[in-house]
């Protein structure tokens, strides 16, 4: 997403280089969405893939359901629009089949089962290989999986935000659904590189309660503790945060985003870090889970009204 919106100016050429570097380092999943930059992001991924030697080793995931227009942001999961959204994504991505197709957000005016039924037809038609859902409740996940097997559920999960451990993660594991944490670096907070100026330069962070006032002060104090543990392990705070997620299970596939080549290499290096139980316990004691401040739920859903335009 950061290639197209939310985190300040980006450069397409540098973004493509970042994608290529990620694949060189062993990354095999690229995650995008039709809403990111109103289609720009999918087109950018297509350009990167066209120039990539190992294209067949890369799986592409994209999402539909959040619709951005000049009039604002809305949600649309109406079954009659699903095929049109998919066809448009296929065209922008320059592929014949999407490896993993997500419902980005549940349309409050449409039962999730009805949307997933339309998505399942895409699998039958050979346009999509696997289905996913994003930012759903445990009940919605069960309802979706009852219609068609759900391969992955995407949600925000990191050391900064642990709530998914209470409901969606147990439900997903009960159903055998893979876990795809987005913002695994806490929107950059867990890299220990942010200050008030960098927070203020991002539209996405400015509206997040975790980056505001006393919440930010408390969270920055947590980051200092995280840095101390990371220094003791001779890794970066960001690598420690990603390694923590990877240690939560083999069914966890974090999707850290970055626009910088050095960060791509740093993130990929986290896969070489294996934390022992003693190190995980020490991390929990130093960076206390209950000490993070700010509730992200107040801004998690971009809109609660259905779009009224066609596909």
Active site residues: 36
Closest CA to 112 of 69, 152, 65: 65
286 CB burial (10 A radius; 0-12, 13-18, 19+): middle
Residue 238, H or E segment: helix 237-246
**Quick one: DSSP state of residue 3?**
T
How far is Cα of residue 224 from the mean position of the Cα atoms in its chain? 25
**Quick one: DSSP state of residue 248?**
T
- On whether the CB atoms of residues 73 and 66 are closer than 8 A, the answer is yes
* Phi and psi torsions of 114, nearest 5°: -70, -40
How far is Cα of residue 309 from the mean position of the Cα atoms in its chain? 26
- Dihedral in degrees, nearest 10, Cα atoms 287, 292, 296, 298: 170
């Amino acid at each position: 997403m950061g290639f197209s919106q939310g985190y300040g100016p980006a450069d397409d050429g540098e973004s493509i280089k970042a994608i290529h570097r990620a694949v060189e380092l062993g990354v095999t999943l690229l995650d995008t969405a039709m809403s990111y930059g109103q289609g720009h992001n999918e087109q950018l991924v297509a350009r990167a893939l066209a120039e990539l030697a190992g294209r067949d080793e890369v799986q592409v995931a994209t999402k539909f359901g959040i619709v951005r227009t000049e009039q604002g942001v809305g949600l649309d999961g109406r079954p009659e629009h699903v095929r049109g959204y998919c066809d448009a994504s296929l065209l922008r991505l320059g592929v014949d089949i999407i490896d993993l197709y997500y419902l980005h957000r549940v349309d409050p005016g449409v039962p999730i089962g009805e949307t997933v039924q339309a998505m399942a037809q895409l699998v039958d038609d050979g346009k999509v290989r696997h289905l996913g859902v994003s930012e759903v409740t445990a009940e919605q996940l069960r309802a979706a999986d009852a219609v068609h097997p759900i391969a992955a559920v995407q949600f925000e999960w990191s050391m900064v935000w642990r709530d998914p451990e209470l409901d969606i993660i147990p439900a997903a594991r009960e159903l055998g659904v893979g876990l795809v944490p987005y913002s695994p670096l806490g929107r950059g907070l867990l890299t220990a590189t942010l200050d008030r100026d960098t927070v203020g330069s991002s539209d996405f962070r400015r509206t997040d309660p975790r980056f505001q006032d006393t919440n930010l002060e408390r969270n920055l104090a947590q980051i200092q503790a995280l840095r101390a543990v990371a220094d003791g392990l001779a890794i970066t705070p960001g690598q420690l945060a990603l390694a923590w997620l990877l240690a939560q299970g083999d069914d966890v596939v974090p999707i850290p985003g970055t626009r910088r080549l050095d960060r791509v290499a740093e993130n990929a290096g986290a896969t070489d870090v294996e934390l022992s139980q003693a190190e995980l316990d020490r991390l929990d004691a130093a960076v206390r889970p209950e000490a993070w401040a700010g509730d992200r739920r107040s801004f998690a859903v971009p809109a609660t009204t259905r779009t009224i335009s066609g596909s």
